[in-house]
Structure 1
Amino acid sequence: MCNNCDYTIHGRHHHFGWDNSFVPAEKVAPGATLEFECLDSSGGQLKASSTVDDVPLLDFATINPVTGPIFVEGAMPGDALKITINEFKPSGFGWTANIPGFGLLADDFKEPALNIWKYDPATLKPALFGKNGRVPLKPFAGTIGNAPADLGLHSVVPPRRMGGNLDIRDLAAGTVLYLPVEVAGALFSVGDTHAAQGDGEVCGTAIESPMNVVVTLDLVKDARLKMPRFTTPGPVTSHLDRKGYEVTTGIGTDLMDGARAAVSQMVDLLAGRYNMDAVDAYMLCSVCGDLRISEIVDMPNWVVSFYFPRCVFE
């Protein structure tokens, strides 16, 4: 556990969805440092011994658990919660799945698939994928947010103005995140930890991995922040850049169609070049490839690009 932390929030203090009536797991003063025990996004339903037969059995009522909530003293609506992400303590286990009906190319990949990952939590050396793939790791929290002002229970699946299931891979160690506060105490929670993910998380899952997260919570009074914002401590793609990228594009009048086209072409490229099953190429794109809007002003057609790091296979 964290020697310099003020509190440890154990994994048993998890909840599903957002609800501002949840009883806080702890009340803390601004400036407190906390270590959270975070479950994986399946809530432990998928394990190192799991097989593809377990994927259709997932109970979606108990996915994406987050640890918390934390009541921050003095936090009021209109303030911003300042979250300094100090450290991740990975477990060494992870999984990636194609879940039928979920993901950017759900219409093309209708059968379940599962990849179980094992990686070194101390060195974070690239994790093996199949015989030749090596995926660089960058731990981060996929779901991190405050409770909404709206009453009742709200799904954790879509991201929200107060944070939540953002799936921004740059919310890694050293990043400072600012979230709008909508209720007294903010009621902060975190979970859905990943060992690696590409921008877009195109198949719907990353390297889903339980791990501990150490953060410091502070306040910016009367910030009037409308949406999350964050500051990174330095370069964000240095773990992927060294060999360059293969890039495919999608061009047309609709950004979603363009994104699908760009990813679909990359799946075809990887499957053909490396003699992979298409669904494996799709999952690999999700954990380390990046979707980018390259152009959105030259109407009526926009350009979406998909970048796949060549270091995975070279």
Structure 2
Amino acid sequence: MCQHCLGKTIHDVNHHGVWDNSIEPVMTIKPGETVHFECLDSSGGQITKDSDVSVLSTLSMDLLNPVTGPVYVDGAQPGDILKVSIEQFIPSGFGWSAIIPGFGLLQDQFKDPALHLWHYDRHQMGACAYGDFAHVPLKPFAGTIGVAPAQSGQHSVIPPRQVGGNLDIRDLSAGSTLYLPVEVAGALFSVGDTHAAQGDGEVCGTAIESQMDAVLTFDVIKGQSLKSPAFSTPGPVTAHLDRLGYEVFTGVGSDLMTCAQDALSHTIDWLCRTTQMSAEKAYMLCSVCGDLRISEIVDAPNWVVSFYFPKVVLA
């Protein structure tokens, strides 16, 4: 067990499904302390190694995207910054990706459910096989990570917020440092929705959703404030994908959402032609390893969105 895991632990039974500053903290810690969080996957354990696609029609929405916590950080007050040093993720070796009707960038095109189960070496964390079609390099991170908002009442964990939450930023991996604006006393930090891999955009609505533990160290920065989350990384963020370059497809037009949809659709068409995989499989594969990027947003009236698909995945 790593040295960070020998400190305080919050077990996954201590989870909640909304942001609410009235939820009692599970633990109080001092700045500088490290906490080991046991996190659930975004299905809240409803999707298992024995599941098939039928599980998607019976998912309880109330159980989705649970986060472990909250933690009260002593000394954190509204107007401060909570510094979260991401030390380590301890993966489970199992994950899933899905097309969930009514969800995802191309929800109007993909109306039927689909499910893919992933099995990977949780110790070596090498590339994970996607049937006979591809191998996806892994990069664990927490999709949902944040603090309680100042507004009273219950707030959904699904949309991201100015205090963090469901950010789905794949570069919040081990070694990165996240900075969150504090809006309530103690910050009331929680984390969950852990992923084994994801592309920028999480285009089908899911990554490689995978239960794992997160080891985090906390500090409070006084006398400074943030309006929204910020983070720093220890080095390159795409080294696990860059080795063989990318195939890139663009969407060009006056609406960024339509441009993004077009760029993704062109990539899926290419994957289907190149590998003979189904469009559903291509859509999920794009979600776990391909990146949406705004390439141009200044030359009105049209903008350019590009979808980068890493060649190493098909090598």
Structure 2 length-normalised TM: 0.99
Which residue of structure 2 lines up, in the alignment, with residue 49 of structure 1? 50
2:2 and 2:35 map into 1 onto residues whose CA distance is: 8
Contact 2:133 2:277 in 1 (8 A): no
- Please identify, of 49-58 and 175-184, the stretch whose mean Cα deviation from structure 2 is larger: 49-58
Contact 1:2 1:35 in 2 (8 A): no
Report Cα offsets for 1:157-201 as digits up to 9, x if no partner: 000000000000000000000000000000000000000000000
Could you list the runs of 5+ residues in structure 1 that have no partner in the other structure? Answer: none
Which residue of structure 2 lines up, in the alignment, with residue 161 of structure 1? 162
Output aligned runs, 1:117-128, within 5 Å: 117-128=118-129
Q: CA RMSD in A?
A: 0.8
1:60 and 1:310 map into 2 onto residues whose CA distance is: 36
Which residue of structure 2 lines up, in the alignment, with residue 90 of structure 1? 91
The answer to whether the aligner puts 1:202 opposite 2:198 as a matched pair is no
| Deviation at residue 6 of structure 1 after TM alignment | 2.7
2:211 and 2:2 map into 1 onto residues whose CA distance is: 17
Which residue of structure 2 lines up, in the alignment, with residue 101 of structure 1? 102
Output aligned runs, 1:285-296, within 5 Å: 285-296=286-297
Contact 1:149 1:183 in 2 (8 A): yes
1:2 and 1:63 map into 2 onto residues whose CA distance is: 30
Q: Which amino acid aligns with 1:17?
A: V
Which residue of structure 2 lines up, in the alignment, with residue 37 of structure 1? 38
The residue matched to 1:143 in structure 2 has which SS? strand
1:6 and 1:114 map into 2 onto residues whose CA distance is: 37
The residue matched to 1:247 in structure 2 has which SS? strand
Structure 1 length-normalised TM: 0.99
Which residue of structure 2 lines up, in the alignment, with residue 6 of structure 1? 7
Report Cα offsets for 1:211-266 as digits up to 9, x if no partner: 00000011001321101000000000000000110100000001000000000110
1:67 and 1:15 map into 2 onto residues whose CA distance is: 7
Could you list the runs of 5+ residues in structure 2 that have no partner in the other structure? Answer: none
| Deviation at residue 56 of structure 1 after TM alignment | 1.5
Which residue of structure 2 lines up, in the alignment, with residue 237 of structure 1? 238
Q: Which amino acid aligns with 2:49?
A: A
The residue matched to 1:198 in structure 2 has which SS? coil
The answer to whether the aligner puts 1:222 opposite 2:194 as a matched pair is no
Output aligned runs, 1:64-75, within 5 Å: 64-75=65-76
1:32 and 1:296 map into 2 onto residues whose CA distance is: 43
- Runs of 4 or more above 2 Å deviation: 1-6
2:269 and 2:223 map into 1 onto residues whose CA distance is: 50
Which residue of structure 2 lines up, in the alignment, with residue 63 of structure 1? 64
Q: Which amino acid aligns with 1:25?
A: V
| Deviation at residue 108 of structure 1 after TM alignment | 0.2
The answer to whether the aligner puts 1:187 opposite 2:188 as a matched pair is yes
| Deviation at residue 132 of structure 1 after TM alignment | 3.0
1:61 and 1:103 map into 2 onto residues whose CA distance is: 19
| Deviation at residue 300 of structure 1 after TM alignment | 0.5
Q: Which amino acid aligns with 1:50?
A: S
1:265 and 1:17 map into 2 onto residues whose CA distance is: 37
2:19 and 2:251 map into 1 onto residues whose CA distance is: 35
Which residue of structure 2 lines up, in the alignment, with residue 312 of structure 1? 313
Residues 237, 194 of structure 1: alpha-carbon distance in 2 compared, 3 angstrom cutoff: same
| Deviation at residue 59 of structure 1 after TM alignment | 1.1
1:223 and 1:164 map into 2 onto residues whose CA distance is: 21
1:109 and 1:231 map into 2 onto residues whose CA distance is: 36
1:94 and 1:310 map into 2 onto residues whose CA distance is: 23
The residue matched to 1:260 in structure 2 has which SS? helix
The residue matched to 2:143 in structure 1 has which SS? strand
Output aligned runs, 1:14-25, within 5 Å: 14-25=15-26
1:221 and 1:163 map into 2 onto residues whose CA distance is: 19
| Deviation at residue 2 of structure 1 after TM alignment | 4.9
2:2 and 2:219 map into 1 onto residues whose CA distance is: 18
Q: Which amino acid aligns with 2:50?
A: S
| Deviation at residue 17 of structure 1 after TM alignment | 1.1
